[in-house]
Structure 1
Amino acid sequence: MDNWPEFIKQHFMTVPFVRFLDAAVVETGRGRSLITVPLRAEFANSYGMTHGGVVAALVDIAAGIALRTLKVRVVTVETTVNYFLPVATDDTLRAEARLVHEGHKLLHAEVDVANGENTLVAKGRAVFYITGEDTGEY
């Protein structure tokens, strides 16, 4: 495959959970991704703000997509999220993920999550385990 990051971008646009979130894979490159999610009322917590689980899912998805651009199959080992600001359910989230360490079996990524005004609302870290080479066959 000539343009693996583009293949990964297109592939993830067909994943049911990504589609449920109405997420858009805006950009991919080796070890990086940019994902947006338009929020909606169904994502609210008991305070009427966006549930932290939506943000955590976005961190995991963005990191996973960024790491799949390395042509490896991966599974999540650990995801941590630090929340800085609440996010309204009529906003849009933007997650920018990047590889920070590439080991033989473990990959580490960082993810910045911003709101529609480009204010940092959360920061995540993720560790993924490499299960093998990614050939694009599913």
Structure 2
Amino acid sequence: MSEALTPEERAKKAAAAMWAEDRASRFLGMEIIEMAEGRAVLQMVVRPEFCNGHGIGHGGLTFSLADSAFAFACNSRNQATVAQHNSISYVAPAREGDVLTAVAQEISLTGRSGIYDVRVSNQDGAIVAEFRGASRAITGHLFEE
């Protein structure tokens, strides 16, 4: 009989299972910096091809980083979970070369529904965006326990 996983071990194992299949986050150059139950920290560099016609980071790519951090946080208990609703407020522009960090934190988890806040900031600690995600657990797990 194997020993039960701690919440942190479960979160890291769930993240590894998701990461192996997450081609979009890998393609965009994201990195997982930290994982814990209900929490994930991801980073991404704003590459030249991530900039829009105004010469600033495209909002959709900032959203993608926040959405990925949200996904890793809400799947950290090894319960398959998807987004039900997300919104984002852009506070300041991201610039080419910026290192963006998205910190996702669980705010509420009741039954199959969760609420997560994600703050995206740059390498200087300036807030770039605030994201709120609502999650819904579905059938399945990321790995067998």
TM superposition score category, shorter chain reference: over 0.9
CA RMSD of aligned residues (A): 1.4
Q: CA deviation at 1:10?
A: 2.3
- Is 2:86 the partner of 1:75? no
Question: Greater CA radius of gyration, 1 or 2?
Answer: 2
| Amino acid of the structure 2 residue aligned with 1:72 | Q
Report what 1:120 is aligned to.
Answer: 127
2: distance between equivalents of 1:122 and 1:78?
17
Whether the aligned pair in 1 keeps the contact of 2:80 and 2:141 (CA below 8 Å) is yes
- Alignment partner, residue 67 of structure 2: 60
Equivalent residues in 2 for 1:1-138, closer than 5 Å = 2=5, 3-14=9-20, 15-136=22-143
TM-score by length of 2: 0.88
Moved more, 102-111 or 128-137: 128-137
Q: Which amino acid aligns with 1:10?
A: A
Cα distance in structure 2, aligned partners of 1:78 and 1:19: 23
Higher strand residue share: 1
Structure 2: give runs of 5+ residues left out of the alignment: none
Displacement of 1:135 in angstroms is 4.5
Runs of 4+ residues deviating >4 angstroms: none
SS at match of 1:58: helix
5+ residue gaps in structure 1?
none
Checking the alignment, whether the CA contact within 8 Å between 1:12 and 1:18 is kept in structure 2 is no
Distance 2:44 2:132 in 1: 19
The alignment's TM-score, normalised by the length of structure 1, stands at: 0.92
